[in-house]
């Protein structure tokens, strides 16, 4: 489930970067700035948290990870 969520965040990242490029082409800097905020959240918060959780599962093992969530 976490891996699927992370894959989706990566897809969102690509889509946001594409939309940001489109905004720059259209000289729509207000929309670009709004999308940049979303991109920052996606990369630095959402995807980062999911990568951390998957890293913990790899290091601790699924059973120990799940116990730590209680």
Q: What is the DSSP letter of 45?
A: I
Contact with Fe ion (CB under 5 A): which of 10, 46, 57, 65? 46
Q: Identify which of residues 8 and 56 has a Cβ nearer to Fe ion in the complex.
A: 8
| Rounded CA separation 40/17 (Å) | 11
Q: Which residue has the tokens 């969102």?
A: 12
What kind and span of H or E run contains 69? Answer: none
Minimum distance from residue 27 beta carbon to Fe ion (Å): 27
Minimum distance from residue 65 beta carbon to Fe ion (Å): 21
Measured from the Cβ of residue 9, the count of other Cβ atoms closer than 10 Å reads: 19
Q: Identify which of residues 4 and 25 has a Cβ nearer to Fe ion in the complex.
A: 4
Minimum distance from residue 25 beta carbon to Fe ion (Å): 25
């Amino acid at each position: 489930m976490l891996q699927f969520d992370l894959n989706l965040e990566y897809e969102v990242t690509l889509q946001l970067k594409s939309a940001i490029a489109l905004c720059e082409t259209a000289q729509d800097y207000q929309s670009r700035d709004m999308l940049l905020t979303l991109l920052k959240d996606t990369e630095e918060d959402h995807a980062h948290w999911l990568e951390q959780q998957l890293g913990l599962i790899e290091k601790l093992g699924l059973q120990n990870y799940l116990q730590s969530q209680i």
